Amino acid sequence: MAARPLVAGLAVLAALVLSVVPASGLGPLYGSLAGPDAIAPGQAGVYNLTIFGGPDGAVRYTVQWHITGSNAAGGLPTAANPTTATDNRTTFRLNVTAPQAEQTITLFVKISASVGSTVENTTVQKSIVVVTPVVLSATFTNQGTTAAVNVTVRFYVDGALVGTETIARINPSGSATATFNYLPANLQSGTHQVRIEADLDRNGVIDPARGEVVVSSLFYRGSAPLSTGWTVLIGIAVFVPVLIVTIGLRRRQQT
């Protein structure tokens, strides 16, 4: 007789546990956004939405998105005219266009999942910095007697890698330029260092004895546009293809 209260207690506990499980078998509906944290004014950006949870079965998803900001002129889609897509897949590509003014905008997404009379809704959003890019440019001259091919050029700002470009070929006595558009999102006012490396054998190690180059310079960011107007010239005399690098930094003009 003593075992009956225990069995009854377990039954009540099981009923309580079952009562907190969502009606859908997949858990609460939610979305995740992946894409660039910064884009240039007027630039198009693509953001990938992945949907999780929600109703079980043959689900139909409706996704609606727009951007908001302090000065959203030129940005798309707008809150007044959002973009809508419907499908049974759980991944969507969301296209946006940044406004013309520098600011932080928000990509706002509504998600609706429906199966028959069952409908679940949720939202997800992402902050995006709209900022004018800084053009990092390095021109390399090969003073050796053999061609330099597939030269890896790495761009660093304040010690952090911000981009990589490849120069396919630099012929003897020839020159080539690598350019990278750096988006200085959240870059504080003050002096910053830009460093550019040329890696001939693409092993991640800069060896001056092989003609590989590291060059750095400083730039200043204030509340006004970035300072411009300097060039650094470095030449290295070694026995294999020698690269002379000229680096420049300028703020890309908006059109």
Q: Mind listing the pLDDT tens digit for each residue in 111-123?
A: 999 999 999 999 9
Evaluate whether residue 113 is within a structural domain.
yes
**Is there a single domain that holds both residue 59 and residue 105?**
yes
107 and 138 both lie in a single domain:
no
Would you say residue 16 lies in a domain?
A: no
- Encoding tokens for residue 31? 């979305």
Q: Do 55 and 150 belong together in one domain?
A: no
pLDDT at position 68? 98
Are 124 and 140 within one domain?
no
Residue 123 sits in the same domain as residue 175: no
Domain termination residue (choose one: 83, 104, 130): 130
Instruction: Answer for the pair 134, 164: CB distance below 8 angstroms, yes or no.
Output: no
Using the Cα atoms of residue 80, residue 118, residue 62 and residue 106 in order, give the sign of their dihedral: positive
Domain at 29, CATH number: 2.60.40.10
Same domain, 141 and 123: no
pLDDT in the model for residue 203: 73
- In the prediction, which pLDDT does 218 show? 64
Q: Is residue 167 part of a domain?
A: yes
Instruction: Please give the pLDDT value at position 32.
Output: 98
- Same domain for 93 and 150: no
Query: Quick one: 138 and 60 in the same domain?
Result: no
Predicted local distance difference test score (pLDDT) of residue 98: 98
Beta bridge partners of 124: 109
Q: Look at residue 74 and tell me if it is in a domain.
A: yes
Same domain membership, residue 138 and residue 126: no
Which residues, including other chains, have CB under 8 Å from residue 170's CB and lie 6 or more apart?
Answer: 140, 141, 142, 147, 148, 149, 151, 176, 241, 243
232-234 β-sheet, strand order:
175-182, 134-142, 243-251, 232-234
Measured between alpha carbons, how far is 101 from 195 in angstroms, rounded to an integer? 29
Q: How many CB atoms lie within 10 A of CB 52?
A: 13
| Per-residue confidence (pLDDT) for residue 231, from 0 to 100 | 31
Q: Which of 130, 155, 183 is the last residue of a domain?
A: 130
pTM over 0.75: no
- Residue ranges of the chain with per-residue pLDDT less than 70: 1-25, 207-213, 215, 218-255
Residue 236 included in any domain:
yes
Dihedral (CA of 171, 175, 180, 181) sign: negative
Radius of gyration of the chain (CA): 27
Please tell me whether residues 80 and 139 are part of one structural domain.
Answer: no
Q: Which of 84, 106, 130 is the last residue of a domain?
A: 130
Name the H helices within the chain. 3-19
Domain that residue 33 falls in: 23-130
The answer on 161 and 141 residing in a single domain is yes
Q: How many domains does the chain have?
A: 2
State residue 241's pLDDT score. 39
In a domain, 184, yes or no: yes
Give the model's pLDDT for residue 145: 86
Q: Is residue 12 part of a domain?
A: no
Instruction: Give the tokens for residue 173.
Output: 């006595």
Residues 150 and 242 in one domain: yes
